[in-house]
Structure 1
Amino acid sequence: MSNRLLKVIEQRDSTLLAKMAPPDNTPAKVVNLEAERMVDSLFRQLMKVFPAAAQTTLKTDADLSAAKKQWIAAFAENDIRTREQLSAGMQHARASESPFWPSPGQFIAWCKEGALKAAGLPDENELYVLTMTYARKRGGYVSPEAYPWPSPAVYWMVTTLCDHMRHESWSEAQLRKGCGTELKLMAKRIDAGETIPQPRARIAQMSVKSALSKSDNLKKLHEICAKHGLRTKP
C-alpha cells in the first residue's frame, strides 16, 4: 500500500479516494428497445381511444415518459410480451365505456382476458359459473362425459375443479382462485400447440384428507372395472 494511499485513509478523504479508485466499466442497464417500441405504438393507439388523456394524466412529455416506464415495468412483471397480447388488450380498450385512461393493471387484465378468448377459453368468472352450473346439474346425466360441454377444454377444467370442491371442501374464494389457475394451465397447453383431448372417463384425484375407506375404495374399483368391462378378483 503506497504512502499516499495510507495518508488518504488516515485523513478519511473520500474525495481523493474516489479519484484514486479505478474507473467503473460496468455498462449501463440496456433498455429493452423492443418493449419500448411496443409501448410507444400502444400509447399512440390508446391516445386515439382516450384523447382526453392528453389534457389530464399525460399533459406533458415528462408525464408521458414516466407513464411509459411504468407500463414497460408492469408488462415485464406480468409476462405481457407479445403484440398479440397487446392487440387483445386494445380490443377491450376500444369497447370500454369509460373515457378515462386505463391503469397498467387494468390494461394487463384486458390483455389476459383477450388472450383467453382468442384461445377459445372462458374468463375466470365464466369458468366459475360453468363449474357451479355443472355441479348443480350433473345428477341428471349418466356420466360427466354425457354433459353438454361447450368445449373439451371446459370439460377438463370443470371436472378438475369439481374434484377439488368435493374432496377438499373448497370455499368460493378457493374455487375462484382455482379457476384462474386452471385457465392459466389450459392457456399454456393451447399456446404450446397441444390438442386438448375429448371428454373421457377419468379417475378423480383425491387428497389424503379425503381418502376413502377400504370398503369404499373396493366398491369404487369394482364400479370402474365394470364400466370398462374389466374383471376383478372375487
Structure 2
Amino acid sequence: MSAKSLQTLLSSGPIVGIGGSASGRPEPTDMDIAIVDSVFEKLKILFPVGAPKSEVEGTHKAEWLKTLAAQEVRSRDQVQYGLNRARREVGDRKFWPSPRQFCTWCLPCALDAGLPEAEQAFREALKHYRNPASHSWTHELVWLAMRETGHWMFSRANKKEVFEVYTRNYDVLVRRFLAGETFDIELPKALPPKVNIPTKPDAAKQNIALIRKSLDLRGSNEYT
C-alpha cells in the first residue's frame, strides 16, 4: 500500500499515541509512514506465514503506527534494532509477529545489560528461594524479583502461576534498570554456622538456682 493511501486511512479518525493538529486529526510524518512501509516489506521476507493481505494492509499499518507510538518506539535506530533482533532470535519461526511483539524486539532487553533472560532468572530463583542467603546470585535483580514474588507463592502456588508473577516482576525491574535506575538493596548474607557450646556442670547448676530463685521455686531438698 502506498504512503498516500495509508495517510488517507490515518486521517479518517483519531489515532491514539500519534501527535495531532489543532483539529484533532493525526499527523504521522512521512518518515513514520516510510518506516512502517519498510518494516512490512522486510517482515514479509522474514515471516511469510500470516502476513496481512494487501486489501487490509493499510488497516494493519495504521495499528502498527499506533502501537509503535504507544510503546515509545520513535526512531529509525530502534526499529532497526528490532529488525536485527528479529533476524537473530526468531529461529525457525515463520509466523507474522504482532505489533506488540515487534515493539518488544525494538526495546533493550535483559541480555543487552548482561542480565539473564526471564526464564533463566526464574529457574535460578526456583532452585534457590528456600535458602537465598546461601546462594551466589547471578544478579541482584534475580533475587529482588524473587523477593517481590514472595516465598509463600514459590512454596504454595503451581509453577505456571509462579512463573507468570515472577517474570512480570522481573520484567518491570529490568525496564527500570535499563532506564538507569539504581537499586539500593543488600543481598541477604549467609548466617554463621550454629555452634552449640555446652555449659559446664557447675555453671549449669548455678543458672538453675538463679532461675528457681527468680520464680520463687525450691528444689525438693529445700523443703523441711
Instruction: Compute the TM-score of the two structures, normalised by the length of structure 2.
Output: 0.55
Letter matched to residue 111 of structure 2: K
- Paired residue for 2:200? none
Query: What is the CA-CA distance between 1:164 and the residue it aligns to?
Result: 4.7
1:117 and 2:111 correspond: yes
In structure 1, which of residues 159, 176, 194 is the aligned counterpart of residue 181 of structure 2?
194
Q: What are the equivalent positions in structure 2 for 1:196-211 lying under 5 Å apart?
A: 196-197=183-184, 199-201=186-188
On the 8 A contact 2:68/2:74 being kept in 1, the answer is no
Query: What is the CA-CA distance between 1:189 and the residue it aligns to?
Result: 2.3
Identical positions, percent: 22
On the 8 A contact 1:124/1:180 being kept in 2, the answer is yes
**In terms of Rg, which structure is larger?**
2
Distance in 1, matches of 2:97 and 2:122, equals: 26
Query: What is the CA-CA distance between 1:152 and the residue it aligns to?
Result: 2.1
Query: What is the CA-CA distance between 1:110 and the residue it aligns to?
Result: 4.1
1:102 and 2:97 correspond: yes
1:163 and 2:151 correspond: yes
In structure 2, which of residues 163, 183, 187 is the aligned counterpart of residue 176 of structure 1?
163
- Paired residue for 2:121? 127
In structure 2, which of residues 56, 61, 72 is the aligned counterpart of residue 68 of structure 1?
61
SS state at 1:27 partner: coil
- Alpha-carbon spacing, 1:121–1:182, altered in 2? closer, same or farther (3 Å): farther
In structure 1, which of residues 37, 42, 47 is the aligned counterpart of residue 39 of structure 2?
42
Deviates more, 1:189-198 or 1:127-136: 189-198
Q: Deviations over 1:203-226 (max 9, x none)?
A: xxxxxxxxxxxxxxxxxxxx9xxx
Q: Deviations over 1:131-183 (max 9, x none)?
A: 211136x3xxxxx344121122222222333435269x444344223223312
Distance in 2, matches of 1:85 and 1:177, equals: 27
| Structure 2 unmatched runs, 5+ | 1-21, 192-224
- Paired residue for 1:30? 26
Letter matched to residue 180 of structure 1: T
Letter matched to residue 187 of structure 2: R
The root-mean-square deviation of aligned C-alpha atoms, in Å, is: 3.6
Query: What is the CA-CA distance between 1:68 and the residue it aligns to?
Result: 0.9
- Alpha-carbon spacing, 1:132–1:85, altered in 2? closer, same or farther (3 Å): farther
1:150 and 2:138 correspond: yes
| Structure 1 unmatched runs, 5+ | 1-25, 139-143, 203-222, 224-234
- Alpha-carbon spacing, 1:45–1:134, altered in 2? closer, same or farther (3 Å): same
- Alpha-carbon spacing, 1:182–1:49, altered in 2? closer, same or farther (3 Å): same
- Alpha-carbon spacing, 1:189–1:102, altered in 2? closer, same or farther (3 Å): closer
Corresponding pairs, count: 165
Distance in 1, matches of 2:142 and 2:37, equals: 37
- Paired residue for 1:14? none
Instruction: Compute the TM-score of the two structures, normalised by the length of structure 1.
Output: 0.53
On the 8 A contact 2:125/2:146 being kept in 1, the answer is yes
Letter matched to residue 182 of structure 1: N
Letter matched to residue 70 of structure 1: E
